[in-house]
Structure 1
Amino acid sequence: MSVKNRPQRSWPRLIGNIFLIVGTGFFLINLFFPQLFAPAPTRVPYSLFLDQVNDGEVARAFVGQDQIRYQLKPENGEEYGSILSTTPIFDLELPQRLESKGVEFAAAPPKGNNWFGSLLSWVIPPLIFVGIWQLFLGRGGGGPQGALSINKSKAKVYVEDDATKVGFADVAGVEEAKAELEEIVEFLKNPQRYTNIGARIPKGVLLVGPPGTGKTLLAKAVAGEAGVSFFSISGSEFVELFVGAGAARVRDLFEQAKKKAPCIIFIDELDAIGKSRAGNGFMAGGNDEREQTLNQLLTEMDGFAAGDATVIVLAATNRPETLDPALLRPGRFDRQVLVDRPDLPGRLKILDIYGRKVKLDPGVDLKAIATRTPGFSGADLANLVNEAALLAARNQRETVTQPDFAEAIERVVAGLEKKSRVLNEKEKTIVAYHEVGHALVGALMPGGGKVAKISIVPRGMAALGYTLQMPTEDRFLMSEAELRDQIATLLGGRAAEEVVFGSITTGAANDLQRATDLAERMVTTYGMSKVLGPLAYEKGGGNSFLGEGGMMNPRRNVSDTTAQAIDGEVKEIVEQGHQTAIAILQKNRDLLETITRQILETEVIEGEALQKLLDQAQGLEPVAV
C-alpha cells in the first residue's frame, strides 16, 4: 500500500475514546471508593472542640491518634449535624469529659481505602523487585535476552556483502589447503552432484597449523566462495559457570544452522572443548562441564544428515595432538587440512596481496623481502607490511620504500632499537668482537645463511647486538654437517671473546642454550651419533605447532649408562663446534680486528661493504679422516 492511499487517523474519535476511558475509570473509582472524592471535614481548633463538648453540642465523636472527627447535634430542623475534625492533644481526661456530657465516642474506624493501601504495599515491592531482576538479567546475560539467553548460542553470523566478501583470491601461501577446501565449496553449491552417485558429504573439516597461518581466513573464504551463511564461534564460548550451558549452546547452534542450511559452522580453538577425555584428570563418568559439551558436539555431528541439511563444520586448532580421538574418527572430522607456514612463492603472493593495500615505492623488490623472511606466517607478513608503512609515515614519506621493509624485518626479528641503552666503551668493544665472531664463522660455514648485517645497536629486551643471517633458499632438510656448522656459528661470539680477551662474559648465554638444544636433538631425535646409533631417545610429541613448551627435549626413560652416553655425545658435538670457531677466528685474526674497528666507528655494517670484508675470510683446511 502506497503512502498516498494510506487511511488517515480520525483524531476526534481517538480523543473521544480517551475521554471515554478516563471517565469510565473515574466512575468506577467513585463507585467503589466514594471516600476518595468526598469533601474533607472542616478542621477546627481543639479548644473549640472542648467548648462544644462542654456546651453539649457534640452528638458523637471518633477519637483517633492523628485526628478526632465528631458530629454536632442537628439544629433548626436539620436532619444531620455538621461533621468537624480537630487535631488531638494528649488529654487523659477526654474520655471522662465525653462520658459526662453524654457524647457517644469510639475509636476512629479504619480508613475506607486501607485495604487498597495494603494491596499496594503487597504488590508494589514485588513489582519493583521484578523490575530490578529483569534489568539485571538484561545487563548480565551478554545479549539482548540477558541471562535468560545463557543456553543460547553466541555464534556470530556473517552474511558478507560484495565490499567485505572474502574469497580464495584473498588467501595466499596455502595452495594445497585451498585446493582441498575448493571441494568443500562444491559440496555446498551442488551437493546433489555427490549424493546422486552415492558419495557422502564430509561433515567436518579440521584445519591444523601454527598460529597466524590463516585458518580463520580460509574458513571465511570457503563461506564467501560458496555464498552461504557463516556461523563463527570460539571453543571457549561454549563453556561457562552454569552446568549444562555448553551442551545447550551446542544444541542451539546446530538448530540455528539447520534452519539456514546450507551453511558453515566455524569453531575456532577447538581444543578448548575437544581435549582428550583420557587425561582430563576426572574419574570415569565424571560430571565435567567441558566433557558434557564435547559429548553434545559429538552427538550433534552424528545427528544431522547430509540429505536433510548441508551443514559443514570447520574447526581450527594449533594443538591437534591434544584432541579426543572421537572427534578425529571418520564420520565427524573426516578431513584434516594442514595450513602450514608459506614457502618462498607463497610469501611472495602474501606480500603482493598486503602490498596492494599500501602505497609502495616502484623500487620495492617484494621477492627480496620474501627471501629474507623464511619461517614467517601470513600474520607475520601482514604485520611486516604494516610496520614498514608505519615507519614510512613516521619519516614523512609518501610511499613505502625498500629500507622501510629492511628496518621492519629487523624490528620483527630482533625487536626495537634501544637507543637509550648506552654501553660503556669496554662493553661496546666486547659486543663488537662478539658479533664479528658470529659473522666470520657464519660466513665460512656452508650450513649457515648469508650474513646480511652486523650491528652493535641494542635491540629488544636482551640483545646488546646482533648478526643477521638470511638464507638464500627455503630448506626442509638439514644434513649432519650443516647442523654442526650452525653450532659452530652460534659459538663464534664466545670464541671471539676467548681469542681476543682470554676470558668470557655472560653475553653468550642464549647462544649456548641454542647450541646445546640443537646438539641434543641431533643425538636423541635425529640419531646422528655413532656411539648411540640410529635410535630415538626423545619422546614423540605429536604434531605440536606451539613449540616444545617448558621441556626443551623430553627424554625417554633410559638407563644411567645411556644417559651418560647422551650427555657425552652432546658435549662432544658442542665442543667440536667450539674448537672449529676458535680455529677460524685465530686464522682470520687480522680480519677480525679490521671489521671490529670499522663497526665500532659506524655501529652497523651491511650490504656490499660487509660482503667485501667477509669475502677476505680464509676457511680451514679440510682434515683427512
Structure 2
Amino acid sequence: MSVSWYVRLFKFLIVFAVVGGIAGGVYLWRNHADAAPSRISYTAFVDKVSAGEIVRVRLEGDSITAEAKGGGSFQLYRPSDADLSKLLLDRHVEFTSTPAEAKIRWFELGFILVLLVPLVFIMKRMAVFGRSKAKRIDGARTNTLFTDVAGAEEAKGELMETVDFLKDPFRFSRLGGKMPTGVLLVGPPGTGKTLLARAVAGEAGVPFFSMSGSEFVEMYVGVGASRVRDLFAQAKKAAPCIIFIDELDAVGRRRDSGGNGASDERDQTLNQLLVEMDGFTVTSGIVVIAATNRPEVLDPALLRPGRFDRQVVVGSPDIKGREEILKVHARNVPLAPDVDLHLVARGTPGFSGADLANVVNEAAILAARANKPLVEMTDLDMARDKVMMGVEKKSMVLSEKSKLSTAYHEAGHVMVARLVPGCDPVHKVSIVPRGRALGVTVQIPEEDIHCYTKEMLVAHIKVLMGGRAAEELVFSTTTTGAGNDLARATDVARKMVSEWGMSEAFGPVAFGHQDPASGEGGRKSFSDATAVEIDTEIRSIVTGAYSEVRDLLLAHMDSLKLLVSELLTHETLGSSEIDELLQPAFALEAQSPHYAKP
C-alpha cells in the first residue's frame, strides 16, 4: 500500500470520529432533555388524572410524559393498562401515542450508516488489492517492431514463430501441432528482453499486458493469487494478446519444501500461475512471455512442457550487433562525419544494449554542453570512458609523489601489454583519477573473444602484475593502488586451477561446486591436503608471472621512464601516441648489448 492511501485512510478516520462524536452528543443531549421532567409513580399519575390536574399526555412506547395545570411535567413508566386510554378520554385529557421505534429509528439508521461507510471503503480497497496491476498497451499503440531491436537476430528468429501464432493460431492447430504458449527470455540485465517482448506485440498487432513479478506479491496472503487470476481474466477477454512478466524469479523461485510461513504468499501466487498456464488451449490466443536473468532459481514446474517450455537466450551482442544497436540509438542524434560507429562498437566489448544506449545519450549530453551542432567522435569516446570507468575527477589534486607513483603504475601495465604476446592492444592510458581509481589503462581486443586459451589468461595476469612490478622496481616499495590488480589476477589463477583444468600439477580436473538454486558457491568437494596444493599452485602461477614481468620491465627501463615522462606531461595518451613514442625506443633498446629479448 502506498503512503498516500494511509494518509487518506487517516483523514477518513478523523472525519468518522467527528461525525460519530456529533451523533453521540446529539443522542446524549436528547436523552438528557427527555430526562428533565420529574418522575412520579403510576398511582400518583392516575390520581392526578382523576383529579383533573393533568391537561396533556404524550405516550411514547413504555414512557408517559404528562403536563400539569399551571406548568410542570411528569414522566413515568407505562404499565400494560388497557383502561388508561379510557380514563384519559373520560377526563377529557388531550393525549398522543407514538410507538417507541419511531423515536430512535432515524438515529439508529444514521449510526449504522456511519459504521457501514468505513466498512464499505475497506472492502472496496481489498477488492482493489486483488486486481492486477498490469499495464495494458493496445496493439494499435505498440509502435515497437523488430526493426527497433538490434543485436539479437537469433532471438528475433525464434520469436517470429510466436508472432505467426498470434496472427493465425489455427494455422498451427489444423495439423495437430501445439504452438508453445510460454516463452522464457533468458539473459543478462540490459540486453533487451522487455524490448523484444514489446516488439512481438507490435509485429502481431495485439494487446500487450506488462507486469513485474514483484507486483504480484503483497503483505496480505492471497492477494498475489487473486492478481494472477485477474490478469489472466483480462487477457482472455482481450485475446489474442501477450502477457509479459518481467523478473519472473521474483515470483517463480523454487518452492521451499520446509513449509516456511514467510514464503506462503509467494508459493500461493506461483501455484495460481501454474494453474492458469496449465489451462491454456491452442486456440486461446494468449502467449505468456517472461524474462529473467536467473533461470537456475526458477521452480522446475514452470519449465516443464506446456508452460515455459521454450527458452530464448538473449545474450550480450557481438561487435556486429553492437554496431547495429548504436545505429538504432543514433537515429535521432545528429552525428558528425568523423563518427565511426564500428570503432565505437569495437571499443565496447561486453556492453549490453542498455549500456550502448547510455553511451549515445551521454555523448549527446556532452556535445550539448559544449554547444556543438553535431555529436563528434571525441564525444562518443569520452562518453564510453565515462560509462566504462566513471567520471573524471579533475578537481582531485594529487601530490607530486602520488602522481609519479600512479604514472609508473599505469606505464607498467602499458609496457607489459606491448611486450607480452597475446595481450589485447592498449587503447588509452590516463593518470586522471576516475571513479575510485587514480589512473586507468584501457585495452580493447581486436575481435570479440568467447573462449580464452591458457596463454591468453597468463598474459592477462602479467598485465595486471605490471603496475605493482613497476612501482617496486622504481621506488623499492609497493602501494595499495595494486590491490584490485592482485585480486583480479588471483581470481583468474584460481579459476585456471580449480575450474578450467589449466594446472600442470592437477591436469584436467575441476574442484568445487556451486549450487545454482541457492547461489551459494564454494561447497568443498576436496580434501584439506588438496586445498593446500591448490593454494600452492595458484601462488606459483601468480608469483611466476610477477617474476617474469619484473625482468621484462627491468630490461626496458628506459622506455618505461620515457612513457612516464610523457604521461606526466599530457596525463592521457592514446594508442597512436603510445606507438609513436615506444616504437623508436624499442628499436634503440634492441641495439643495446644489455637488451633482454622478451
TM-score bracket, shorter-length normalisation: 0.7 to 0.9
Cα separation, 2, equivalents of 1:179 and 1:574: 45
Partner of 1:184: 162
Q: Which range moved further: 521-530 or 228-237?
A: 228-237
CA drift of 1:538 comes to: 3.1
The answer to whether residue 292 in structure 2 is matched with residue 317 in structure 1 is yes
Q: Cα deviations across residues 208-242 of structure 1 (Å, max 9, x unaligned)? A: 00000000110010011011111111111221122
Q: Is the contact made by 2:349 and 2:448 (CA closer than 8 Å) also made in structure 1?
A: yes
Letter matched to residue 543 of structure 2: E
Residue from 504, 514, 518 that aligns with 2:488? 514
Q: Is the contact made by 2:465 and 2:549 (CA closer than 8 Å) also made in structure 1?
A: yes
Partner of 2:5: none
Cα separation, 1, equivalents of 2:529 and 2:182: 48
Partner of 1:36: none
Partner of 1:369: 344
Letter matched to residue 392 of structure 2: E
CA drift of 1:407 comes to: 0.6
Please state whether the residue corresponding to 1:205 is helix, strand or coil. strand
- Identify if the C-alpha distance between structure 1 residues 606 and 114 changes in structure 2 by more than 3 Å, giving closer, same or farther: farther
Q: Percent identical across equivalent pairs?
A: 49
Q: Cα deviations across residues 430-481 of structure 1 (Å, max 9, x unaligned)? A: 1111111111111223332211111111111x20111111111111111101
Partner of 2:557: 589
Q: Is the contact made by 1:445 and 1:486 (CA closer than 8 Å) also made in structure 2?
A: no
The answer to whether residue 146 in structure 2 is matched with residue 130 in structure 1 is no
Partner of 2:104: 118
Q: Is the contact made by 1:443 and 1:614 (CA closer than 8 Å) also made in structure 2?
A: no
The answer to whether residue 571 in structure 2 is matched with residue 603 in structure 1 is yes
Q: Cα deviations across residues 134-156 of structure 1 (Å, max 9, x unaligned)? A: 4566xxxxxxx633122222222
Cα separation, 1, equivalents of 2:352 and 2:597: 39
Q: Which range moved further: 518-527 or 612-621?
A: 612-621
Cα separation, 2, equivalents of 1:371 and 1:196: 48
Q: Which range moved further: 124-133 or 504-513?
A: 124-133
Cα separation, 1, equivalents of 2:104 and 2:505: 96
CA drift of 1:70 comes to: 6.9
Q: Cα deviations across residues 99-141 of structure 1 (Å, max 9, x unaligned)? A: xxxxxxxxxx99989966633332223323433454566xxxx
Letter matched to residue 582 of structure 2: L
Cα separation, 1, equivalents of 2:67 and 2:546: 113
Query: Which one has the bigger helix percentage?
Result: 2
Cα separation, 2, equivalents of 1:148 and 1:389: 47
Partner of 1:410: 385
CA drift of 1:395 comes to: 1.4
The answer to whether residue 375 in structure 2 is matched with residue 400 in structure 1 is yes
Unaligned runs of 5+ in 2: 1-51, 59-64, 74-94
Residue from 505, 512, 523 that aligns with 1:531? 505
Residue from 556, 573, 587 that aligns with 2:524? 556
Q: Cα deviations across residues 321-360 of structure 1 (Å, max 9, x unaligned)? A: 1111111111211211000000011000000000012222
Q: Which range moved further: 190-199 or 110-119?
A: 110-119
Partner of 2:179: 201
Q: Is the contact made by 1:434 and 1:493 (CA closer than 8 Å) also made in structure 2?
A: yes
Please state whether the residue corresponding to 1:491 is helix, strand or coil. helix
Please state whether the residue corresponding to 1:492 is helix, strand or coil. helix
- Identify if the C-alpha distance between structure 1 residues 394 and 285 changes in structure 2 by more than 3 Å, giving closer, same or farther: closer
Q: Is the contact made by 1:450 and 1:471 (CA closer than 8 Å) also made in structure 2?
A: yes
- Identify if the C-alpha distance between structure 1 residues 201 and 598 changes in structure 2 by more than 3 Å, giving closer, same or farther: same
Q: Is the contact made by 2:426 and 2:575 (CA closer than 8 Å) also made in structure 1?
A: no
Residue from 300, 315, 327 that aligns with 2:276? 300
Residue from 479, 488, 506 that aligns with 2:453? 479
- Identify if the C-alpha distance between structure 1 residues 398 and 146 changes in structure 2 by more than 3 Å, giving closer, same or farther: farther
Letter matched to residue 504 of structure 1: T
Structure-to-structure mapping, 1:173-322, within 5 angstroms: 173-277=151-255, 280=256, 282-283=258-259, 288-307=264-283, 309-322=284-297
Residue from 546, 570, 573 that aligns with 1:578? 546
TM-score, normalising length from structure 1?
Answer: 0.77
CA drift of 1:310 comes to: 1.7
Q: Is the contact made by 1:532 and 1:565 (CA closer than 8 Å) also made in structure 2?
A: no
Q: Which range moved further: 493-502 or 436-445?
A: 436-445
- Identify if the C-alpha distance between structure 1 residues 110 and 358 changes in structure 2 by more than 3 Å, giving closer, same or farther: farther
Q: Which range moved further: 517-526 or 581-590?
A: 581-590
Please state whether the residue corresponding to 2:140 is helix, strand or coil. coil
Unaligned runs of 5+ in 1: 1-57, 73-84, 88-108, 138-144
Structure-to-structure mapping, 1:18-33, within 5 angstroms: none
Cα separation, 2, equivalents of 1:458 and 1:549: 35
Cα separation, 1, equivalents of 2:112 and 2:271: 41
Letter matched to residue 226 of structure 1: A
Q: Which range moved further: 292-301 or 211-220?
A: 292-301
Cα separation, 1, equivalents of 2:212 and 2:57: 74
Partner of 1:502: 476
Q: Which range moved further: 238-247 or 209-218?
A: 238-247
Partner of 1:422: 397
Cα separation, 2, equivalents of 1:132 and 1:502: 78
Matched pairs, number: 515
Q: Is the contact made by 1:235 and 1:271 (CA closer than 8 Å) also made in structure 2?
A: yes
Partner of 2:92: none
- Identify if the C-alpha distance between structure 1 residues 314 and 437 changes in structure 2 by more than 3 Å, giving closer, same or farther: same
- Identify if the C-alpha distance between structure 1 residues 228 and 528 changes in structure 2 by more than 3 Å, giving closer, same or farther: same
Q: Which range moved further: 440-449 or 268-277?
A: 440-449
CA RMSD in angstroms comes to: 3.0
CA drift of 1:622 comes to: 7.2
Letter matched to residue 275 of structure 2: T
Partner of 2:132: 153
CA drift of 1:62 comes to: 8.1
Partner of 1:172: 150
